Structure 1
Amino acid sequence: MSKQTEFPPLNPLHVFEVASRLLSFTKAAAELNVTQSAVSRQIATLEAAINVKLFKRERDGIYLTEAGEAYRREIGPAFARILWATNEIRANRLSDPLHLRVYSSFAARWLIPRLPAFKKKYPSIELRMNTAVQPVNFSRDSVDIAIQFGSGDWPDILCRKIMDDEIQPVCSPELYASVGGIKTVDDLAKVQLISARLRTRDWKDWLTDRKMAEPEGSYMEFPSSHLAYQAAAAGLGVAMAQLSLIERDVQEGRLMLLFDKPLKREMGYYAMWPKELSLSKNMRVFLNWLYTEANQSAN
């Protein structure tokens, strides 16, 4: 093979693309996570390989030669295309499992009952789910998409609200009948109030919105909303419920809504993923399905 048809060394070529784009060996070294001297050596290797001077070293910095500028214009788009193609092939791997991080109550009461329909529609997508209430750390946790409750203001994270936070008291029809109805805040004194440990403000916010004082007596507290709603359905008392999580219980008669309207708050459930992550095809499919399900649920 003649010298004229030999491919230039790829690593020095990559270093040149970065250095010519940034016009700084120091910045190139930082982007490539190497030393400045390593960048200089790679540039010297490339210049020797192609027998062309690519940079001028001046007192105030480095500049591309005319040949270096022409070379940059040609190889820059090539490297951009390689990066784009690499991200695309990574993003569209269909065999990789989709790792989800979800609150346990949301998983048990909303997501899991809907997953059989998802699996029937998308049998090739494998979902792996773990539950936790701690905020997700995408740099540490093996998570593609998380569903968390909050305001939607998380640094370095993209997110989309999937449902609002609407709360309203609920109890079992049997408890309602046994105390002769629960129609006013005074009637709440006749029953045990139930709360979830991580949602201790729900009762206070709802009563404050109605300009009502909290009734006397302590709350029966459970470690999760899921257990609090189960306790209410079993007739143990009145729980303050997130409407999105008890819709099936109401439809099937295990729980009934009390009073005339819910309280809608600013926070809600969000689907979230790292800002720097290119969404895979499986992630896009799941998110679109999630938005559709949530919208149908809200209506």
Structure 2
Amino acid sequence: LLPRLERFREKYPHISLRIQASLAITSMQQEGADLAIRMGKGDWEGTESHYLFSDQLIVVAAPTYNGGVLPRTPSEIAKSNIIFSMESWKAWCINAGLEREIVPGGLCINDSNLVLEAVRLGKGIALERRSLVQDALSRGELVQLTSFTAPYPWPYWLVSSQGAEQKNEAVLFKAWLDEEVTAWRQQTGAVEEKCARDGKP
């Protein structure tokens, strides 16, 4: 979201934005928030939830990892230097046809930003949400190693506090965010097509 907010500010310079990041689910009314982006089932009490998109888990690496000789098959990926995050490899291993699940070992980091920084430096490969790596893939900073993916269990929602849907600023932000999500989905489709064209398993 953050890299795209400048477009919203250019379009609506009269609207002030206050962004508050939190891993915990807090009361929007107590925080004085009109809107929130959350992952989950979309059933938070006292709010209105608008579905945005469902994410995927994909395997990524820097183009320079392993001297540029990148692992492409599931078995090669399983033998690679994996930087483990909070994401489980279980569903990905099933979809990729691996008999054994890849379990955490070696380097484990509980922050996706730090995981991706290590991956960019060529320290290993990682399984991460597409929404977090899409821009880096488009810039060529990271490479999707295989077309095998796994669904991320928690969709993204735009959540409105009571009465927020009647505020013009919230309505404009919701419409803008829907446009950005549509553009992101189109970009994602282009990357997936390129992955298939490259003949990656």
Same fold flag (TM > 0.5)? yes
In the alignment, which residue of structure 1 is the partner of 2:35?
A: 145
* Secondary structure, aligned partner of 1:132: coil
> How many angstroms apart in 1 are the aligned matches of 2:185 and 2:45?
28
Larger radius of gyration: 1
- What's the RMSD between the two structures over aligned residues? 2.0
TM-score where L is the length of structure 1: 0.57
Question: What aligned pairs does 1:79-158 form with structure 2 within 5 A after superposition?
Answer: 111-158=1-48
Q: Is the 8 A contact 2:35 2:158 kept in 1?
A: yes
In the alignment, which residue of structure 2 is the partner of 1:193?
A: 82
In the alignment, which residue of structure 1 is the partner of 2:125?
A: 238
Identify which of structures 1 and 2 has the higher relative contact order when contacts are C-alpha pairs closer than 8 Å and 6+ apart.
2
Any idea what the Cα deviations from partners look like across 1:70-118, whole Å, max 9, x if unmatched?
xxxxxxxxxxxxxxxxxxxxxxxxxxxxxxxxxxxxxxxxx11111111
What's the % identity of the aligned pairs?
A: 24
Q: Which has more strand, going by share of residues?
A: 1
Name the CA shift for 1:276/1:217 in 2 (closer, same or farther; >3 Å): closer
Amino acid of the structure 1 residue aligned with 2:40: G
* Secondary structure, aligned partner of 1:246: helix
In the alignment, which residue of structure 1 is the partner of 2:137?
A: 250
In the alignment, which residue of structure 2 is the partner of 1:29?
A: none
Q: Is the 8 A contact 2:56 2:149 kept in 1?
A: yes
* Secondary structure, aligned partner of 1:267: coil
Q: Is the 8 A contact 1:136 1:146 kept in 2?
A: no
In the alignment, which residue of structure 1 is the partner of 2:198?
A: none
Name the CA shift for 1:216/1:160 in 2 (closer, same or farther; >3 Å): closer
Q: Is the 8 A contact 1:244 1:298 kept in 2?
A: no
In the alignment, which residue of structure 1 is the partner of 2:168?
A: 281
In the alignment, which residue of structure 2 is the partner of 1:271?
A: 158
Gaps of 5+ in 2: 187-201
> How many angstroms apart in 2 are the aligned matches of 1:130 and 1:231?
26
Gaps of 5+ in 1: 1-110
Q: Measure how far apart 1:135 and its partner are.
A: 1.0
> How many angstroms apart in 2 are the aligned matches of 1:278 and 1:189?
47
Q: Which has more helix, going by share of residues?
A: 1
> How many angstroms apart in 1 are the aligned matches of 2:104 and 2:159?
39
In the alignment, which residue of structure 1 is the partner of 2:90?
A: 204
> How many angstroms apart in 1 are the aligned matches of 2:84 and 2:175?
33
TM-score where L is the length of structure 2: 0.82
